[in-house]
Amino acid sequence: MIKIKNSKEIEKMKKAGKLAAQVLDFIKPYIKVGVSTGELNKLCHDFIIKNKAIPAPLNYQGFPASICTSVNDVVCHGIPSFEDVLKNKDIVNVDITVILNGYHGDTSRTFMVGDVDKEVEDLVERTEQAMYKGIEVIMPGIYLYEVGRAIEKYIKDFLYSVVRDYGGHGIGKGFHEDPNVLHYYSLENKIKLREGMIFTVEPMINQGSSYEVITSREDGWTVTTKNGSLSAQFEHTVLVTKDSYEILTKS
């Protein structure tokens, strides 16, 4: 069941989305060679608490930290650690979800550490572009599968693949609500969009031809590419408006 948000709820979602984006803006200057993902987690946690919000990942289905930090071949759900120190040429996705006054805001960006190779920079920039291609088709009356279709259409010119095992999601009072937003074309997403729906668009794009991923059997969370290739991701929370869309997690 997809919930339609009323104007009061939309106001709260705008505030939560804005705070989530502010956390990313806040953490950006700390993402440098030598910083640990554990330190990034601590800094974000304290910033979120100071702003009277709750870090949604903490204890969510047993997740042990306040943010996700996914480095290089980690696709998503990386667990921050003080042992995990960023080095030159790394890429790291920082995924922030806050709960403010009972409503969630969810956004992530992939940051480049030091001087990354040109092909890695391309992967990161095109993944952000892919997210925007998916967002830009959003309006009432279209089918949700247009989002995945636009992402795939953009990505097909490159030797990349779109991760299939994880998608975007409806969001509101719940962290993960209906619908499941696929980042590739599928009739599973033959769902008509209506004004007041709010969901995330958060494509994970792997370098190379394999979209396959595996989940760590040690921690039960860390998702990596199966073949060790790099993976990038960007995420926004998006509202369907009267005739278009609005990004609620803009920087």
Is residue 39 involved in binding ligand MF3 (CB under 6 A)? no
From the CB of 203, what's the least distance to ligand MF3, in Å? 11
Quick one: CA dihedral 140, 146, 150, 155, positive or negative?
A: positive
- Interface residue with Co ion among 66, 93, 200, 231 (CB under 5 A) is 200
Residue 232 interacts with ligand MF3 (CB under 6 A): yes or no? no
Q: Which of 77, 104, 109, 126 binds ligand MF3 (CB under 6 A)?
A: 77
Compute φ and ψ for 164, nearest 5 degrees.
-105, -20
Determine, following the binding rule CB under 6 A, whether residue 57 of this chain makes contact with ligand MF3: yes
Count residues binding Co ion (CB under 5 A): 5
Distance CA 23, CA 229 (A): 28
What is residue 149's DSSP assignment?
H
Q: Is 241 exposed, middle or buried (0-12, 13-18, 19+ CB in 10 A)?
A: middle
Does 45 engage in binding with ligand MF3 (CB under 6 A)? no
Q: Is 128 in the site for Co ion (CB under 5 A)?
A: no
Give the binding range for ligand MF3 (CB under 6 A) out of 6-14, 31-39, 56-64, 135-143: 56-64
Which residue lies nearer to ligand MF3 by CB, 168 or 196? 168
Percent helix, strand and coil across the chain, each to the nearest 5: 30, 30, 45
As a whole number of angstroms, the distance between CA 99 and CA 103 comes to: 5
Among 60, 132, 143, 185, which residue interacts with ligand MF3 (rule: CB under 6 A)?
60
Distance CA 120, CA 124 (A): 6
- Extract the tokens encoding 99: 């709960």
Binding flag, residue 177, Co ion (CB under 5 A):
no
Q: Specify the stretch interacting with ligand MF3 by CB under 6 A; choose among 32-40, 54-62, 178-186, 211-219.
A: 54-62
- Min separation Cβ 20 and Co ion, Å: 9
Q: Which amino acid is at 61?
A: Q
Cα 78 to Cα 8, 66, 103, 216, distances in angstroms: 34, 11, 23, 10
CB 187, min distance to ligand MF3, A: 23
Q: Which range in 32-40, 157-165, 221-229, 235-243 contacts Co ion by CB under 5 A?
A: 235-243
Distance CA 87, CA 241 (A): 42
Binding site for ligand MF3 (CB under 6 A): 57, 60-61, 63, 68, 77, 95, 97, 106, 169, 200, 202, 235
